[in-house]
Amino acid sequence: MKFLGIIPARSGSKRLPNKNLMLCNRKPLIGWTCEAAKESASIDLCIVSTDSLEIMETANSFGIASPFIRPEELSNDEATSLSVVKHALDWADEHCDANKQPRFDAVILLQPTSPLRTGDDIRRARIAMQTSNANTVVSVVKAPKNFSASKMMTINPNTDSLTPLQHEDIVGDLYLRDGPSILISDRETINAGKLYGRKVAPCVLDWESFVDIDVLDELREAERRLQRRHHKQSN
């Protein structure tokens, strides 16, 4: 299988303006994902899809190409991740094969708002995709013990009453989906207009990697976790 890596990084962000270029432990946020993609040695071609020349230049400085400016209609709040993925995949099909034949079998979507995912995480996700016969691989983290299914309830909006979840069929540990870290889907799934296919396999990450930056507090938490990781690795 051949894999196209896509790092989507538009300039607009309502909660944290220009967050993809904000410093996270003295490095632009997008830089962490660019470095992880390169360190993984698991992506046949990795590109950044952006509407920003500054983001383009920053990605290039970390060794990841940004070969086009994303169209305006794919850079607003209404644009979906699927539409961005399809646009990048269409570009790759047109420009990366002399015979104009589809070159890539799957895409690896890496959101720059998840700076704690590592190159080894990406490598393990690719192996899972190649060995599981799945259409999709998504990163997950093991839920803490206080996330017990027996304690989870929903609130009925009509009666404002609590209803326990039906958890009789839940066996073993619970896992939380961490799609922003790593999401791999095959071409069949993308062509069907979906990001998640019929069979979805997990790639388990550690809890410290579980962060998706959308507000300043989350950025600061990511910095604390990166510092803990660096301290642990240096000791």
Q: What's the distance, CA 6 to chain centroid?
A: 9
186 forms beta bridges with 106
Token pair recorded at residue 76:
């607003």
- Kindly state the average pLDDT of the residues 91-103: 75
Q: Which of 71-85, 163-177, 207-221 has the lowest mean pLDDT?
A: 163-177
Give the CATH number of domain 3-143+173-234.
Answer: 3.90.550.10
What size, in residues, is the chain?
A: 235
- Kindly state the average pLDDT of the residues 206-217: 91
Mean pLDDT score of the chain, rounded to an integer?
89
pLDDT at 118: 95
DSSP secondary structure string for all residues of the chain: --EEEEEE--S--SSSTTGGGSBSSSSBHHHHHHHHHHHHT--SEEEEEBS-HHHHHHHHHTT-B--SBPPGGGSSTT--HHHHHHHHHHHHHHHS-TT-----SEEEE--TT-TT--HHHHHHHHHHHHHS--SEEEEEEEPPGGG-GGG-EEE-TTT--EEE---TT--S--EEE-TTT-EEEEHHHHHTT-SS-SSEEEEEE-GGG-----SHHHHHHHHHHHHHHHHHHH-
Q: What's the distance, CA 52 to chain centroid?
A: 20
Whether the per-residue pLDDT at 44 is higher than 90: the answer is yes
Q: Are the C-beta atoms of 7 and 59 separated by less than 8 Å?
A: yes
% of residues, the chain, pLDDT over 90: 66
Number of neighbours of residue 9 by Cβ within 10 angstroms: 29
What is the rounded CA–CA span in Å between residue 133 and residue 188? Answer: 13
Whether the per-residue pLDDT at 57 is higher than 80: the answer is yes
Angle at 86 between CA 181 and CA 104, to 5 degrees: 80
Q: In this predicted model, what pLDDT tens digit does every residue of 125-179 receive, in sequence order?
A: 999 999 998 999 999 998 887 776 666 777 777 777 777 766 555 666 778 888 7
Q: Are the C-beta atoms of 33 and 58 separated by less than 8 Å?
A: no
pLDDT at 12: 78
Q: How confident is the model at residue 98 (pLDDT cuts 50, 70, 90)?
A: low
Can you give the pTM of this predicted structure? 0.89
Whether the per-residue pLDDT at 45 is higher than 70: the answer is yes
User: Amino acid letter at 211?
Assistant: V
Q: How confident is the model at residue 109 (pLDDT cuts 50, 70, 90)?
A: very high
pLDDT at 218: 94
Report domain extents, the chain: 3-143+173-234
pLDDT at 168: 58
Whether the per-residue pLDDT at 117 is higher than 60: the answer is yes
Q: How confident is the model at residue 81 (pLDDT cuts 50, 70, 90)?
A: very high
Ramachandran region, residue 25 (left: φ > 0; alpha: ψ -120 to 50; beta: rest):
left
pLDDT at 175: 85
- Kindly state the average pLDDT of the residues 35-40: 96
pLDDT at 171: 62
What values do phi and psi take at 161, rounded to 5?
-110, 155
